[in-house]
């Protein structure tokens, strides 16, 4: 043990120098045939990556000083408003010298050790800091105290728990601090978020050293699998959840259906039908009666070559309808999403009761939307698109080598930008952008390749590969090309075929115009998926 401050300083100095309506059968058959032709064998990522052996570390090999150190900090809470507490803790960490760069998913877990207490929320963040290990520990303890944690029963209820899991390439063992955290290997609620923060391949030197600190030759991946790995996610003991509205959604339980409400005169499918408040309310009630979980309201058309509205013009269309819809009793328990790429529109919509921001540009048209959504604290749907609606179908934007691989890479860049802007991974939903910067062949390959897209993203961040995927194929032009249906409203049969394929390949939310068919499709697809397992 290091008891004397001077001894600690000397050892630290040495260590620092040492380390570094009836469905049309013909349409369905046409779509099935096209999907079948697009099917390719899926690529599976290796579950285990045995890390390269890192250099051995001293018993108290401490980093810190002027160099930035990569760290992982675990978060836990089971008292009070757990989500708000996490948000507050993240802000306080940033203000205390921790630069947060990546987030794990959010997990609701059964209490361990002392079981007679409320369920926990658990997650973790990865970042950098110039704080020395014990300085960092002190800051975290101050944050816990400021949030309201007091001494109590060990492993008992607490408003916040912040633990240093990993610090640089260091193995630390002092009187007050042990890194890696000594009980990582027996705790699914710690290992699951930790593994989220790693890539499935260990090209990163820091990650290699972290795996070398694990008690298994396969690193933390093997430790996680020994506890059950992905097979235990979705059980009563541990669930991935999406905080939205006043609830925590476990999207693995069933596929959610998002109903489309366009307030535009020029949308490709139903433009001009629901611009008036009374018509929009009637359509909303219909979508809800048919089983929609989410109503996605859009006041700006994003069809190819559509004229772009200003934020003020979009709000002029949106606000009257939004105010009316939020007041109807049918909306009780339902979720509202706003389809916009403007920060100003997102802020006003959430102020008026919207729960989710759905951005087809992924922050590329109005980059301010990322910081605004981070402040709003709502889920953010980031979609894959090259260019904007006026350029997305250009010859250059339709050039792909491996469409699934490139969509995964480009989509992950949007995720990284969102995270660096302050949107935690646990509030991000991915949309591969069916019909955006893609031709018919690309769309089919993406629908059948959702698993491979997850796999590719997992090579960069396992956590990002686990977030919900939203699929929006409804009535798109490529279905009309396949089925020879010029009228978009005649493409519902084909829509349900590709929605089924998407769900069976990993989609968690389907965005459709015909909610009645969409709900039935989701139910049958979920049953097929469970039967396949």
Query: Which active-site residues does the annotation give?
Result: 476, 511
381, containing H or E segment: strand 380-383
- The span from the CA of 310 to the CA of 182, in Å, is 55
C-beta of residue 459 within 8 angstroms of C-beta of residue 45: yes
Burial of 273 (0-12, 13-18, 19+ CB in 10 A): middle
Residue carrying the six token digits 């590719």: 456
- The span from the CA of 446 to the CA of 451, in Å, is 9
- The span from the CA of 425 to the CA of 168, in Å, is 22
Q: What is the dihedral of CA 530, 45, 465, 294, to 10 degrees?
A: -30
C-beta of residue 139 within 8 angstroms of C-beta of residue 97: yes
DSSP state string for 205-274: HHHHHHHHTSSSTTHHHHHHHHTTGGGGTTSSSEEEEEEETTEEE-TTSS-EEEEEEE--SS-TTTTTSS
- The span from the CA of 282 to the CA of 331, in Å, is 12
Q: Distance of CA 27 to CAs 31, 164, 491, Å? A: 6, 56, 8
Backbone angles phi, psi at 365, to 5 degrees: -80, -45
């Amino acid at each position: 043990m290091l008891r004397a401050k001077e001894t600690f300083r000397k050892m630290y100095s040495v260590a620092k120098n040492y380390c570094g309506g009836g469905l049309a059968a013909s349409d369905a058959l046409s779509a099935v045939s096209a999907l079948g032709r697009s099917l390719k064998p899926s690529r599976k990522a290796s579950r285990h990556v045995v890390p390269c052996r890192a250099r051995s570390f001293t018993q108290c090999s401490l980093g810190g000083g002027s160099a930035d150190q990569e760290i992982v900090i675990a978060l836990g809470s089971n008292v009070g408003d757990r989500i708000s507490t996490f948000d507050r803790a993240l802000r306080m960490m940033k203000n205390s010298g921790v630069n947060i760069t990546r987030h794990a998913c959010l997990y609701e877990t059964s209490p361990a050790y002392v079981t007679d207490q409320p369920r926990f929320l658990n997650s973790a963040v990865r970042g950098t800091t110039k704080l020395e290990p014990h300085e960092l520990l002190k800051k975290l303890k101050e944050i816990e105290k400021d949030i309201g944690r007091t001494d109590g029963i060990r492993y008992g209820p607490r408003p916040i728990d912040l633990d240093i899991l990993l610090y640089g390439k260091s193995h630390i063992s002092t009187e007050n601090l042990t890194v890696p955290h000594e009980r990582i290997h027996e705790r699914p609620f710690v290992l699951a978020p930790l593994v989220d923060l790693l890539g499935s391949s260990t090209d990163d030197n820091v990650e290699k050293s972290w795996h070398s600190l694990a008690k298994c030759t396969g690193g933390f991946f093997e430790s996680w699998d020994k506890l059950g790995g992905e097979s235990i996610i979705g059980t009563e003991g541990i669930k991935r959840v999406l905080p939205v509205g006043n609830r925590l959604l476990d999207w693995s339980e069933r596929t959610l259906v998002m109903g489309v409400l366009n307030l535009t005169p020029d949308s490709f499918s139903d433009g001009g039908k629901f611009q008036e408040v009374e018509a929009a309310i009637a359509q909303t009630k219909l979508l809800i009666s048919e089983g929609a979980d989410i109503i996605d309201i859009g006041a700006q058309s994003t069809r190819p070559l559509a004229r772009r509205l200003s934020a003020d013009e979009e709000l002029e269309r949106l606000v009257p309808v939004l105010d009316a819809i939020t007041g109807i009793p049918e909306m009780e328990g339902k979720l509202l999403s706003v389809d916009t790429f403007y920060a100003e529109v997102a802020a006003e919509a959430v102020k008026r009761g919207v729960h989710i921001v759905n951005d087809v540009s992924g922050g590329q048209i109005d980059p301010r939307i990322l910081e605004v959504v981070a402040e709003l604290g709502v889920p953010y749907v980031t979609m894959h698109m090259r260019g904007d609606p006026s350029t997305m179908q250009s010859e250059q934007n339709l050039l792909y080598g491996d469409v699934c691989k490139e969509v995964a890479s480009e989509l992950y860049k949007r995720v990284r930008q969102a995270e660096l802007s302050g949107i935690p991974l646990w509030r991000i939903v991915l949309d591969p952008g069916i019909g955006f910067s893609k031709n018919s062949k690309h769309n089919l390959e993406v629908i059948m390749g959702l698993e491979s897209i997850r796999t590719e993203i997992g090579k960069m961040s396992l956590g990002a590969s686990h977030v919900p995927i939203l699929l929006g194929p409804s009535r798109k032009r490529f279905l009309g090309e396949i089925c020879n249906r010029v009228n978009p409203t005649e493409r519902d049969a084909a829509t349900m075929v590709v929605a089924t394929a998407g769900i069976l390949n990993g989609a968690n939310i389907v965005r459709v115009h015909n909610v009645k068919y969409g709900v039935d499709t989701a139910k049958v697809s979920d049953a097929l998926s469970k039967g396949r397992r």
